[in-house]
Amino acid sequence: MDGVMDGVSSQPEPVTTPSAGRPVLVLDNNVLRNERVIEGCIARYLRTGEQFALPSMAMFELTKHPDAWESTVRKSLEYVGRSPDALVITHTAKDLGALEEVTGKPTEQVVSDKMTSAWRKLLADIRTGDGPDLDYFRWAVTTLRKEMRYEEYETDTRALIQKLRDIARSTFPRDLIARIGGDLARGERATFRELVAGVIRVEQQRDAHVRRGVPKDLADALLDAPGVSYLFALAVGVVALDWLFRGGIESAKPRTVANDVLDIEYIIPALWIGGLVARDDGARERFDDLKVLGAATWPSHAQWFGRAQTVHPDDL
């Protein structure tokens, strides 16, 4: 029963390799209630053995509501529960990045065997209506609710993005902000991505890592290939610039801004696995933003970034 809430607790799970998982797609939470999509993913698994993945942080989102969280979990996982073995769970970006920072080795494996096992047991209990793993899950959510700090997370995340936005705003001419903002309003992201690839530098993230205690040799070693620690930091920078050019963060709800950062928890494993299925246009755009930035940051891995694709569930 241990493990299903590890993604939202303060106790990181050790990352182990290799894993028996064979995922080919990461699903966003917003497609879990799409029976056609889930049935298609299950059919692929039964035919080829290829699975689909959810990030462990998905449970953080599913349990947000203080009263209706169990109903949300049941409804969202109903179709997935028809074939629990088709699902694998990925580590949090926090755990993957932390391991990189103590080993100096970029992430190779994103699937968590421990979390996958825990989720599958929970799915079995949800399908039958009750059981020890569902009882443990109820206890865990109730016990950890204060620790999970949903509202505080959302407020703190908006404050962070706004701070980064303010720093960036002081460095760009107003006419440039207006021009790229206009492009984004028209759904054109080419100029935004060109600017992002030119101003967000991994070397700056390396220096920031060293300032917060990552040994210099390990921080330098992580520059050699794409890793979660640097990619997550780069992705947060992209979110801040997006809010700079689009505007409106002062009036935006904290949850709206926080969801942009939570999207990164889906985007990161999807880059490793090779595909992201998301209904939200913003999530798919940020996925492609990070592909462009990653390829510019690590040119020798441009093909690796290029192979990863995002798709709307209607197009599956």
Assign 59 a pLDDT band (cuts: 50, 70, 90). very high
SS (H, E, C) 180-243: HHHHHHCCCCHHHHHHHHHHCCHHHHHHHHHHCCCCHHHHHHCCCCCCHHHHHHHHHHHHHHHH
Instruction: Please say if the pLDDT value at position 302 is more than 90.
Output: yes
Q: What is the mean pLDDT of the chain?
A: 91
pLDDT at 21: 59
pLDDT at 228: 97
SS (H, E, C) the chain: CCCCCHHHCCCCCCCCCCCCCCEEEEECHHHCCCHHHHHHHHHHHHHHCCEEEEECCHHHHHCCCCCCHHHHHHHHHCCHHHCHHHEEEECCHHHHHHHHHHHCCCCCCCEEHHHHHHHHHHHHHHHHCCCHHHHHHHHHHHHHHHHHCHHHHHHHHHHHHHHHHHHHHCCCCHHHHHHHHHHHHCCCCHHHHHHHHHHCCHHHHHHHHHHCCCCHHHHHHCCCCCCHHHHHHHHHHHHHHHHHHHCCCCCCCHHHHHHHHHHHHHHHHHHHHCEEECCCHHHHHHHHHHHHHHHHHCHHHHHHHHHCEEECHHHC
Instruction: Please say if the pLDDT value at position 15 is more than 70.
Output: no
Average pLDDT score over residue span 217-222: 96
Whose CA is closest to 77, among 93, 100, 59?
A: 59
Condensed to tens digits (0 to 9), the pLDDT of residues 157-186 reads 999 999 999 999 999 999 999 999 999 999
Average pLDDT score over residue span 195-222: 94
Average pLDDT score over residue span 286-308: 96
Assign 11 a pLDDT band (cuts: 50, 70, 90). very low
pLDDT at 6: 53
Cα→Cα distances 310→110, 277, 306, Å? 18, 6, 11
Tokens of 275: 């595909």
Question: Is the bond preceding 226 in cis, omega lying within 30 degrees of 0?
Answer: no
Q: Minimum mean pLDDT among 13-27, 74-88, 121-135, 235-249: which range?
A: 13-27
Instruction: Please say if the pLDDT value at position 44 is more than 80.
Output: yes
Question: Residue 99: CB partners within 8 Å, gap ≥ 6?
Answer: 14, 15, 107
Condensed to tens digits (0 to 9), the pLDDT of residues 263-277 reads 999 999 999 999 999
pLDDT at 7: 45
Of how many residues is the chain composed?
A: 316
pLDDT at 129: 85
pLDDT at 67: 85
pLDDT at 4: 54
* The model's pTM: 0.90
Q: Minimum mean pLDDT among 6-15, 121-130, 202-211, 292-301: which range?
A: 6-15
Amino acid residing at 24: V
